[in-house]
Amino acid sequence: MRGLLLDRGFAIGASITRARRAIPEIISDPNNGLTTMARETITELHEFLGQIDQRIKAFDRRIGEIFRANAACQRIARIFGVGPKTATAVIAAVGDGKEFKNGRHLSAWMGLVPRQHSSGSR
């Protein structure tokens, strides 16, 4: 939407908050020189953005419900910087973690530590 409006002379900052504020104002102004097709297209895209926002909120609610119902997610969320989304993603990806030999293997799989490239066993 920002690109389409920029092509027609309407510059909007890179912030989504600015776009959410500016686009309805631009669409509602009948004297700004936008063609009917451009106005309709941008209106449809703005409505679609609202639909996406609603779906994201619904997914966030579902993730929150899963997080509250799962004790393992809540234990992971005690780590500084880890919230409900990260905790549920870890549980979804790792499961119970029994396929890892130890915590170091899990950490390497997650990319939290550098991989071992030493020749200690050769």
pTM for this model (two decimals)? 0.70
Could you tell me the maximum CA-CA distance found in the chain, to the nearest angstrom? 77
Give the side-chain half-sphere CA count within 13 A for 83: 4
- Please give the C-alpha separations between residue 97 and each of 72, 91, 100, 103, in angstroms, as whole numbers: 11, 9, 6, 9
Q: What is the mean pLDDT of the chain?
A: 90
pLDDT of residue 103: 85
pLDDT of residue 121: 66
The more confidently predicted of residues 88 and 96 is 88
Percentage of the chain beyond pLDDT 90 is 58
The pLDDT tens digits of the residues spanning 48-87 come to 999 999 999 999 999 999 999 999 999 999 999 999 999 9
Domain parsing of the chain, residue ranges: 1-59, 70-115
Rounded Cα–Cα distance for residues 7 and 28 (Å): 18
pLDDT confidence bin for 33, thresholds 50/70/90: confident
